[in-house]
Amino acid sequence: MIVNYDKCLHCGGCAGSCPKNAIFLNDYILVFNDDCNRCGRCVRLCPVQALALEARA
Partner 1 sequence: MKTYECDVVVVGAGPGGSMAAKFCAEGGLDTILIEKKAEVGAPLRCAEGVSKKWLEEVGIALDPLWIRADMIGAVIKSPDGTQFKLDESKAGTEVGYVLERHLFDKALARDAVAAGSKLMMRTSCTGVIREGGRVVGIKVKSMGEEAEIRAKAIVAADGYESQVGRWAGIDTNVKLNDLNSCIQYRMVNCDADMEYCEFIIGRSIAPGGYLWIFPKGNGVANVGIGVMGPLCKGGEPKEYLDRFLAIDPRFKDSQAVEVAAGFVSTCPGLDCAVDDNIILVGDAARIIDPLTGGGICHACRTGMYAGKVLVEAAAKGDFSKASLMPYEKMWRDRMEDKLYRNWMAKERLAELDDETINELVRLISTSDIEEVNVYNLLKTVKEKFPKVVEGFEHLI
Q: How far is the CB of 48 from ligand SF4 (least distance, A)?
A: 5
Q: Is 27 exposed, middle or buried (0-12, 13-18, 19+ CB in 10 A)?
A: exposed
The one of ligand SF4, partner 1, none whose footprint includes residue 54, by CB under 5 to 8 A per kind, is: none
5 binds partner 1 (CB under 8 A): no
With CB cut-offs between 5 and 8 Å by kind, which of ligand SF4, partner 1, none does residue 5 bind? none
Q: Judge residue 57's burial from the number of C-beta atoms within 10 Å of its C-beta, 0-12 exposed, 13-18 middle, 19 or more buried.
A: exposed
Of 27 and 57, the one with the shorter C-beta distance to partner 1 is 27
